[in-house]
Amino acid sequence: MRKISMSDIAKELGISTVSVSKALNDKEGVSDDLRDKVKNLASRKGYRINTSARSLKMDKQFNVGIMIAEKYILDKEAYYFTVSGEIIRNLDQLGYSGIMEIVTYDNENRGILPRFYNENKVDGIIVLGQMKRDYLRAIEKVSVPIIFFDFYMKQFDVDCIVSDNLFSAYTITNQLIEKNHREIGYVGSIEATSSIQDRFLGYYKSLIEAGISLNPDMIIPDRDELGQFIPLQLPNPLPTAFVCNCDRVAHTLITTLKKLNVRVPEDCSVVGFDNSIFSTISEPRITTVDNNIPSMVETAVKIIVKKIKYPERIYGRVLIQGKIIDRDSTAFFEGGSSS
Amino acid sequence: MRKISMSDIAKELGISTVSVSKALNDKEGVSDDLRDKVKNLASRKGYRINTSARSLKMDKQFNVGIMIAEKYILDKEAYYFTVSGEIIRNLDQLGYSGIMEIVTYDNENRGILPRFYNENKVDGIIVLGQMKRDYLRAIEKVSVPIIFFDFYMKQFDVDCIVSDNLFSAYTITNQLIEKNHREIGYVGSIEATSSIQDRFLGYYKSLIEAGISLNPDMIIPDRDELGQFIPLQLPNPLPTAFVCNCDRVAHTLITTLKKLNVRVPEDCSVVGFDNSIFSTISEPRITTVDNNIPSMVETAVKIIVKKIKYPERIYGRVLIQGKIIDRDSTAFFEGGSSS
DNA sequence: CTGAAAGCGCTTACAG
DNA sequence: CTGAAAGCGCTTACAG
């Protein structure tokens, strides 16, 4: 059974393919009557448009590329899975498909661009999660619109969608301070990603406003240069609370504290970030920040689609507000202002 | 700056586009000398092939569709993320891109096929994870090759790649029996998916061979008809060991047991399935089955690509061997043969 | 409202 | 080894 084309429909109805095209695409220039007839026959015959022909003519693919660095896959964490699922769903509503591509460590190092770009399969690109500067430099020169999702980088003029990390971290740290905590640690390697850094700055902003000075011993790295997690080196004495740059490491921290017979939250409060699965499977469940992925994604998709239409428009750094999810991992500090 | 085409290269070199096409595609019919000249100029000018034109002419998209039901995304579990990442990487090596699509609950109920099919964007489809029978019925009739990944269904003639669940469950249950366990529970809703059912059967096979009769009270459901997890109703008295249909529920079980002051593995052994993140973040770390995703994916991708070339070939139900990962959640049962 | 004609950028079968 | 010609299935600008 051959695929059926517009001209098959045209022949059967005794009209031209032009009219079929107009009818099917809801363009003006056909009577409502004819339009209905065409649409009916098309659906009865199971007509499916030949996208290659349309794309060739219109010079548009109706595909958006989604790039993810290999490390985020190996992580076995679902964060970017949720995100990409959401992206794909939003794209679909606007008539686009999502083509995913994993940038392997090797390709990232060698600056090899994704197939979907080299073969002109996409009209725009969303970069999901931070990658090497040099690679981003290469991808930046690409001749289709591009946006960064969930990170940004200095000296890049690329539009990006990020969670308002600084403000969220500031707010959640404020909450700890309101609960009488004065010794508060931060867990995260502050040079690893823009998110970790901004969350640190929000934490610091809160300390400044509370008149608490920053103690370098209280900043605990959680990963190495490759992004691999490392064992946590906790300070002694411990602070009475920790702000963690993500739920995963908050979960690790809680496990570590338990082994030291430190009770959470009675002896030590812990807060996380991302509202990931780690925040709910942990015991106690972790107070955290929900980054509002649906809103981030909706914005990102809207912007990339706009940029496909109007490539010269600039959106800059778009911040999306997060929301604190109160759970069971924080408590009022009773020890009091003994210092 | 206009996109550059084969004819641009041809003009600059004073040759025909036919020769350019042959040279770039490594087809015979051009001298090595000319081929080099063409390739050099193409790369200097940053030529990228126009896939639409190629696809239109060849009636081939060089894209494979990956369908995932919405529920697997909302799960916040990374299992299918790892899988789809791996699929995409394998496809890339064979010259294909992967177009993902999330089948929403709504579309699944209404039998709405993915955009990538309706718009002829893909040459073949991989269905990632079990979906409603009626939906699969609709997708089965599709006019491109299709395979099921990680599940199968009776009365469907669709080729599928599955882990050898029965055999893995059989083996891991045997290990418990060798450790002197005679009362062994199974956690999983055995009608929910083919995997859960087959793992149950492997567990049962092991019991049969050990002369242990099946006790219905020892089969504990873990999810409802929608696939949502439900609280575990543990039997009283408890068995001395549990085989869980996945690591996630094994993790839940361990948490539940801890609350009952049952120590794992001293008082009760627990094994899981999938070697997912839950098996390593759990305390103790869970003995589990690694399904060998790389091998499953490699096979799946090879088969779909073969089927694109030779649609009539049949591969049937392809089983991939899993591997037991021994960790800390099982122990020898000392209670002994008192019954 | 309707349609004939041109053309998007490739690949393939064929002729030289 | 090399290339002229046809054609894949659409859309668009234009004429009627």
pLDDT in tens, B85-110: 999 999 999 999 999 999 999 999 99
* pLDDT at residue B78 tops 80: no
**Per the structure block, which two tokens stand in for A92?**
């679909």
Q: d(Cα A298, Cα A285) in Å, to the nearest integer?
A: 28
The reported pLDDT for the residue numbered A51 is 95
* Tokens read off for A262: 């430190």
Q: What is the 3-state secondary structure (H, E, C) of chain B?
A: CCCCCHHHHHHHHCCCHHHHHHHHCCCCCCCHHHHHHHHHHHHHCCCCCCHHHHHHHHCCCCEEEEEEEHHHHHCCCCHHHHHHHHHHHHHHHCCCEEEEEEECHHHHHHCCCCHHHHCCCCCEEEEECCCCHHHHHHHHCCCCCEEEECCCCCCCCCEEEEECHHHHHHHHHHHHHHCCCCCEEEECCCCCCHHHHHHHHHHHHHHHHCCCCCCHHHEECCECCCCCECCCCCCCCCCCEEEECCHHHHHHHHHHHHHCCCCCCCCCEEECCCCCHHHHHCCCCCEEEECCHHHHHHHHHHHHHHHHHCCCCCCCEEEECCEEECCCCCCCCCCCCCC
Q: What is the pLDDT of residue B82?
A: 84
User: What are the helix (H) ranges across chain A?
Assistant: 6-13, 17-24, 32-44, 51-58, 70-74, 79-93, 105-110, 115-118, 133-140, 165-178, 194-209, 247-259, 277-281, 293-309
Q: Which of residues 118-177 of B touch A (CB under 8 A)?
A: 118-121, 143
Percent of chain A with pLDDT over 70: 97
- Is the whole-model pTM more than 0.85? yes
Could you say which nucleotides of strand D lie within 7 A of any protein CB atom? 1-5, 7-14
Place of tokens 């602070």: A239
By the CB < 8 Å criterion, does B255 face chain A? Answer: yes
CB atoms A102 and B120 under 8 Å: no
A238 touches strand C (CB under 7 A): no
| B61, B88, B116: residue with CB nearest A100 | B88
Residue A130 CB partners (closer than 8 Å, separation 6+): A69, A150, A151, A153, A193, A194
Q: How many CA atoms lie within 13 A of B43 on its CB side?
A: 7
Give the distance, in angstroms, between residue B54 CA and nucleotide C13 C1'.
17
Percent share of chain B, pLDDT over 70? 97
What is d(CA A50, CA A64) in angstroms, rounded to the nearest whole number?
A: 18
Give the chain A residue whose CA is nearest to the CA of B254.
A281
Nearest to A48 among B51, B53, B120 (CB): B120
Question: Using one digit for the tens of pLDDT, what is the confidence trace for A255-283?
Answer: 999 999 999 999 999 999 999 889 998 98
Model confidence at B154, pLDDT cuts 50, 70, 90, reads confident
Give B 79-98 residues with CB within 8 A of chain A. 80-82, 84-86, 88-89, 92, 97-98
**Closest Cα to residue B171, out of B265, B243, B269, B264?**
B243
Work out if B17's Cβ lies within 7 angstroms of strand C.
Answer: yes
Q: Which of residues 44-63 of A touch B (CB under 8 A)?
A: 48-53, 55-56, 61-63
**Are B330 and B270 within 8 A, CB to CB?**
yes
First to last CA, chain A: 84
A37 CB within 8 Å of a chain B CB: no
CA distances (Å), origin B293, targets B80, B275, B307, B323: 10, 10, 21, 11
- Asked whether the beta carbons of A41 and A4 are under 8 A apart, the reply is no
| pLDDT for the residue numbered B337 | 46
pLDDT at A338: 44
pLDDT score of B31: 87
Distances (CA, A) of A303 to A38, A97, A126, A248, B213: 34, 15, 10, 30, 62
The CA–C1' separation of B57 and D3, in angstroms, is: 19
Tokens of B94: 């064979």
Average pLDDT, chain A: 93
Are the beta carbons of B127 and B146 closer than 8 angstroms?
A: yes
Q: What is the pLDDT of residues B250-266, one digit of tens each?
A: 999 999 999 999 999 99
Q: Give me B302's structure tokens.
A: 């090879």
On the 0-12 / 13-18 / 19+ scale of CB atoms within 10 A, B230 is: exposed
Which DSSP letter does residue A242 get?
E
What is the predicted pLDDT for the residue at B76?
Answer: 64
pLDDT digits (tens, 9 = 90+) for A59-117: 999 999 999 999 888 776 678 888 999 999 999 999 999 999 999 999 999 999 999 99
CB atoms within 10 A of CB A267: 15
Instruction: Give burial (CB, 10 Å; 0-12/13-18/19+) of B28.
Output: exposed
Instruction: Give B1: exposed, middle or buried? Use CB within 10 Å, 0-12, 13-18, 19+.
Output: exposed
**CB B49 under 7 Å to nucleic chain C:** yes
Contact, A298 vs A233, CB < 8 A? no
Using CB atoms, pick whichever of B62, B98, B276 lies closest to residue A76. B276
Give chain A positions within 8 Å (CB) of B81.
73, 78, 80-81
**Mean per-residue pLDDT for A51-58?**
95
Domains and CATH numbers, chain A: 6-49 (no CATH), 63-163+293-322 (3.40.50.2300), 165-290 (3.40.50.2300)
CA-nearest of B158, B159, B165 to B291 is: B165
| Alpha carbon of residue A280 to chain centroid | 20
Residue B270 has pLDDT above 70, yes or no: yes
Chain A interface mutation, best of B62, B76, B107, B125, highest count of A Cβ atoms under 10 Å: B76
| pLDDT one-digit tens code per residue, B273-332 | 999 889 998 989 999 999 999 999 999 999 999 999 999 899 999 999 999 999 999 999
Q: How far is B265 from chain A (nearest CA, A)?
A: 18
Cα–Cα distance, A276 to A75 (Å, whole number): 13
- Cβ separation of A97 and B98 shorter than 8 Å? no
Nearest alpha-carbon partner for A198 in A225, A179, A172, A233: A172
How does residue A336 score in pLDDT terms, banded at 50, 70 and 90?
low
Q: Which residues in chain B have their CB less than 8 angstroms from residue A53's CB?
A: 52, 56
pLDDT tens-digit map of A128-186 = 999 999 999 999 888 899 999 999 988 888 999 999 999 999 999 999 999 999 999 99
Span B176-219, pLDDT tens digits: 999 999 999 999 999 998 899 999 999 999 999 999 999 999 99
pLDDT at residue B239 tops 80:
yes
Ramachandran area for residue A201 (φ above 0: left; ψ -120 to 50: alpha; else beta): alpha
Closest to A25 measured CA to CA, from A12, A38, A7, A10: A38
Q: Whole-angstrom Cα distance, residue A187 to residue A220?
A: 5
pLDDT of residue A164: 96
Whether A208 and chain B come into contact, CB under 8 Å, resolves to no
∠ CA A4-A10-A13, nearest 5°, is: 115
B97-103 and A97-103 strand pairing:
antiparallel
Nearest residue, CB atoms, B277 vs list A48, A51, A76: A76
Neighbours of A337 (CB within 10 A): 7
pLDDT at position B226 over 90? no
- Is the pLDDT score of B30 beyond 70? yes
Which of B81, B115, B276 is the closest to A73 by Cβ? B81
**What's the gap between Cα B278 and its chain centre?**
17
**CA-CA-CA-CA torsion for B233, B235, B238, B243, nearest 10 degrees?**
-60
Taking CA B105 as the corner, what is the angle to CA B102 and CA B109, rounded to the nearest 5 degrees? 115
Query: Is residue B338 very low, low, confident or very high in pLDDT (cuts 50, 70, 90)?
Result: very low
Closest CA of chain B from A333, distance in Å: 26
Neighbours of B295 (CB within 10 A): 15
